[in-house]
Amino acid sequence: MLTNTLVLFLRDLLPMFIMFAYLKAIYRPHFDGSLRIWVTVLCGCSIGLVVLFYYENLSDYFEGTGIEWLKIVLVSISFIGFLLSQIFSLATLWNYFLSVAVVCLLSVHFSSFLLYFAVYFAYDIVVFELLIGCLIGVGICVSFYFLYSFFVEELWDSKLYPVILLLWSLFVANQLSLMTNYLHQIDVVDFGTRRFVDLSDWVKEGSEYGFILKALSGFDASPSVFYSLVVAIAFVTMFFLALLNRSHLRQHKKSLEARPMEQTQ
């Protein structure tokens, strides 16, 4: 029970903590303890709760594939949001795109995470174990967030922007890749179902390393050809746009940081 609870934390919540570590470093003026981040988290969690509440009803739609479709749509919107947030010509809108992207991704992960607890909190016997598991799980996620946040910010401050943008693009691309397995699972896409590569002898997805790698980069030990193709295209697109946008972001950040100084003068 305890192990299982921790696994759920690593699978569903850790990627979200990692996402916020990236956002904090890359979009520091906007996603660093501001009201925006709390509103975004609240919206994501609320939608996740609503999805959980209607989970069974939603799953009945489209011949039992409602949940898969919902997650495909949310993950796609999220990816589009992340992409649009890299287009600086949409200057007044980019932070809204980013917020929408975060809300969608958060609701996907949070609804999956809550389902487990909705099942187990019905049994009084295991509530204590669940609470202990939650405490440890939150501890692991928060500790990982602070460590990773420190690591990412140090790299960012050391002007190693391409490294961070590469890792961030890989993370975003792999979040989109969630849809590929769903599309195969409901038989909408019949292309590229065969395994592209099998790394399960090196790192097992169910191991501790597997979970951490999956949370960091969406690691899949035996990805299908379609999965690999989607990840590759999404990664290249995101990384290219992020690099293009980098100089604009830096200028924007500088102007924001300079603004309070001007006001004090």
Partner 1 sequence: MLRNFFAGVFFAVFITQAKSENYVIELKNNTFNPEVLYIPAHKKIKIKIINFDPEPEEFDSFDLNREKVLFPNKPATIYIGPLAPGEYFYFGEFHPNIAKGKMIATDTDVDHADKMGTGDAD
Chain positions contacting partner 1, by CB under 8 A: 4, 7-8, 55-56, 59, 63-64, 67, 115-116, 119-120, 122, 181, 184-191, 193-195, 200, 204-206, 210, 220-224, 227
Q: Which of 52, 53, 108 is nearest to 78 (CA)?
A: 108
Nearer to partner 1, 52 or 164 (CB): 52
In the chain, at which residue ranges do the beta strands (DSSP E only) sit?
Answer: none
Helix (H, G, I), strand (E, B) or coil at 20: helix
Q: For residues 178 and 60, what is the distance between their CA atoms, to the nearest angstrom?
A: 20
The distance of closest approach from Cβ of residue 192 to partner 1 in the complex, given in angstroms and rounded to an integer, is: 10
Nearer to partner 1, 136 or 225 (CB): 225
The distance of closest approach from Cβ of residue 203 to partner 1 in the complex, given in angstroms and rounded to an integer, is: 11
Nearer to partner 1, 195 or 253 (CB): 195
Are 102 and 75 in contact by the 8 Å Cβ rule? The answer is no
The distance of closest approach from Cβ of residue 48 to partner 1 in the complex, given in angstroms and rounded to an integer, is: 14
Are 109 and 13 in contact by the 8 Å Cβ rule? The answer is yes
Q: Which residues pair with 195 in a beta bridge?
A: 224
Q: For residues 233 and 235, what is the distance between their CA atoms, to the nearest angstrom?
A: 5
The distance of closest approach from Cβ of residue 186 to partner 1 in the complex, given in angstroms and rounded to an integer, is: 7
The CA dihedral of 195, 76, 113, 144, to the nearest 10 degrees, is: 80
Nearer to partner 1, 119 or 138 (CB): 119
The distance of closest approach from Cβ of residue 116 to partner 1 in the complex, given in angstroms and rounded to an integer, is: 6
Q: How is residue 103 written in tokens?
A: 């809300």
Nearer to partner 1, 77 or 115 (CB): 115
Gyration radius from the chain CA atoms: 19
